[in-house]
Structure 1
């Protein structure tokens, strides 16, 4: 069914949730995990064109390698094979390209959880991936504990009669 599962990651909490879910799915299906980090080409170009530009770009690439190596370690602990890759470009386009080049069966991606207005105006990488990738895409979003906490009544809020 699914032999190759792509998990794009930026190292954020929501990406971490997608890593957990993607590895769980890969374990159930005995699939190969593909961990991809994309260094945003715009962010990489913000650094002034000096010697520092090359150093900063190298830092971004090393950060991406560290993130994907963490995913590979988790996959290995789960008894799975893992392929890692770090690319530079626009995240959604590089994810689409990776899917096409590597016979990916499904993408498991985290949502940043932007607010409705920000997401409507800016879009999100996950939203763009859902729209352009010609394979199933699972978007993983877990509400942060601190946002759930305010909705739960505390002991002080409980009225005893």
Structure 2
């Protein structure tokens, strides 16, 4: 298992997924990529104020960078290569697309995220990824 992709959103479950990816990666000396996906502002059609829109874009980007920096701290003692990046788009679509384009051996993600339906058995993003990806997926609770 050479390459592991771990999708994070800052939720408790994504932190558990991150730590599980580190555990697995340590055993196989895998390269790990930490991915955060920023939902595009056009998904929020009710926003009509351009200045507010731009401020929100900057805020989301800043939050993503801070989240990724914080997650990288978990890997200071990791023996392999670790990188963190963000993408813009639908979270599930971007995880599937990136994992398949880059040839990851495993995708690790939390069972639920920060969405409004956090009490569902399986979050909508992880559910969608499982159904559309060709790569193996580990969903962490």
Q: Tell me the TM-score normalised to structure 1 length.
A: 0.76
For CA contacts below 8 A with separation 6 or more, give which structure has more relative contact order.
Answer: 2
C-alpha distance in structure 2 between counterparts of 1:8 and 1:58, whole Å: 21
SS of the residue aligned with 1:99?
helix
Higher helix share: 1
Task: Report the counterpart of residue 135 of structure 1 in structure 2.
Answer: 135
SS of the residue aligned with 1:77?
coil
Is 1:115 equivalent to 2:120 in the alignment? yes
Q: Cα deviations across residues 10-48 of structure 1 (Å, max 9, x unaligned)?
A: 000011110110111111111011000011226863543
In structure 2, do the counterparts of structure 1 residues 73 and 88 end up closer, same or farther at CA, with 3 Å as the change threshold?
same
Gaps in structure 2 of 5+ consecutive residues: 113-117
Task: Report the counterpart of residue 31 of structure 2 in structure 1.
Answer: 32
CA RMSD after TM alignment? 1.9
Task: Report the counterpart of residue 150 of structure 1 in structure 2.
Answer: none
C-alpha distance in structure 1 between counterparts of 2:140 and 2:97, whole Å: 21
Q: Tell me the TM-score normalised to structure 2 length.
A: 0.86
Task: Report the counterpart of residue 92 of structure 1 in structure 2.
Answer: 92
C-alpha distance in structure 2 between counterparts of 1:114 and 1:41, whole Å: 24
Query: Would you say how many aligned residue pairs link Structure 1 and Structure 2?
Result: 135
